[in-house]
Amino acid sequence: MKNKFKNKDFNLIVGLILAAVVIIPAVVGIFWTPYDTEAMSSSLKLSGSSLAHPMGCDNFGRDILSRVMSGSSTTLLIGLGTVLIGAVAGTLIGALTGYYGGLVDDIFMRFNDVMFSFPSLLLALVFVAVMGSGRMQLLFALGIAFIPSYVRIVRAEYVRARNLDYVKSAKLAGASDIRVMFVHILPNTVKVLINSVLIGFNNAVLAEAGLSFLGIGVQPPDASLGRMLADSQTYLFNRPGMAVAPGITLIVMVLGISLLGKSKLVTER
């Protein structure tokens, strides 16, 4: 009995299920929601769950399920966009500084240290203050704020790789620096990169929710999980469902992705 479960990768299975439970509705939510997310109804105000509205309605009588779907798709897209900006820019900068070293590396790394010494949420806050709030601005603000963490990870990999024999042989085959960096070394960094992308995605999701909770992220009437949590505070005791729905969604999304990051598929390759 014990052996049967020994080789099963529970992190992978549970992670996939949890991620799917949230991400599939989120993807659907990009194109379709059961009700209009902005349609208000005074008769349905703060109503509990029913067949028509499984998660009930909020303080404006808007369908919570629809808003959770739409909100998590916003969160999903911001998370993906942030990871994309951070990982691409971080990989480029990390590769160049790590591979070449020298003065440019020193300058970039000290700058990176400065960026690092601020919490990334605070950095994102500053960017939002400069660029204004809204989905796109939030995406860029978080994307830029998360670049330093990728730079550090990728740079370390390149510093390690640049003196390895396989890099020497690639150079000796006549490969240009660009080719050595992105064709020979980059595939070797994928393992650590995947992990930091998954962690980065989670951080971005939480940061988006946090900023929206504070009211400087996604702006109403657009749905956002963080925003919904903020709105539900007042009704926490008479309608806890209003907070539970977006809260659980957020937890399940982050938990699912971090379990995926711990799975053997990612760690043992």
Partner 1 sequence: MLLHVEDLNIEFHDHIVPETVVYDFDLDMNEGEIVGLVGESGSGKSMSALAIAGLLSRHDAKKRGHIVFEGVDILECPRETLRGLQGDEISMIFQEPMTSLNPVKKIGWQVEEAMRIHKKSTPEERKIRAIEVLKHVDLDDPERVYNSYPHQLSGGMRQRVMIAAAMINTPKLLIADEPTTALDVTVQAEIVKLLKDINKKHNTAILFISHDLSLVRQLCKRVLVMKGGYVVESGLTEEIFNSPREEYTKHLIDSIPKVVLN
Say whether residue 268 binds partner 1 (CB under 8 A): no
The distance of closest approach from Cβ of residue 196 to partner 1 in the complex, given in angstroms and rounded to an integer, is 18
Site for partner 1 in 193-252 (CB under 8 A): none
**Tokens 């109403």 -> residue:** 220
Sole binder of partner 1 in the list 7, 31, 165, 237 (CB under 8 A): 165
Sole binder of partner 1 in the list 50, 176, 233, 267 (CB under 8 A): 176
**Tokens 């299920």 -> residue:** 17
Cβ atoms of 87 and 174 within 8 Å: the answer is no
The distance of closest approach from Cβ of residue 167 to partner 1 in the complex, given in angstroms and rounded to an integer, is 8
The SS3 assignment for 196 reads: helix
Say whether residue 170 binds partner 1 (CB under 8 A): yes
Please, which residue, 157 or 231, has the CB nearer to partner 1? 157
- Contacts for 228 with CB less than 8 Å, ≥ 6 apart: 58, 64, 67, 68, 71, 242, 243, 245, 246
Please, which residue, 2 or 268, has the CB nearer to partner 1? 268
Please, which residue, 1 or 172, has the CB nearer to partner 1? 172
Say whether residue 105 binds partner 1 (CB under 8 A): no
Please, which residue, 157 or 208, has the CB nearer to partner 1? 157
The SS3 assignment for 174 reads: coil
Between CA 138 and CA 147, with CA 144 as vertex, the angle to 5 degrees is 140
CB burial of 5-19 (b: ≥16 within 10 Å; e: otherwise) equals: eeeebebbebbbebb
Sole binder of partner 1 in the list 20, 104, 122, 164 (CB under 8 A): 164
Sole binder of partner 1 in the list 184, 213, 229, 245 (CB under 8 A): 184
59: nearest Cα among 242, 248, 267, 260? 242
Q: Candidates 56-64, 110-118, 148-156, 183-191: pick the segment binding partner 1 (CB under 8 A).
A: 183-191
Please, which residue, 176 or 267, has the CB nearer to partner 1? 176
Residue 75: burial class (beta carbons within 10 Å; 0-12, 13-18, 19+)? buried
Binding site for partner 1 (CB under 8 A): 101-102, 164-166, 168-176, 179, 184, 187-188, 190
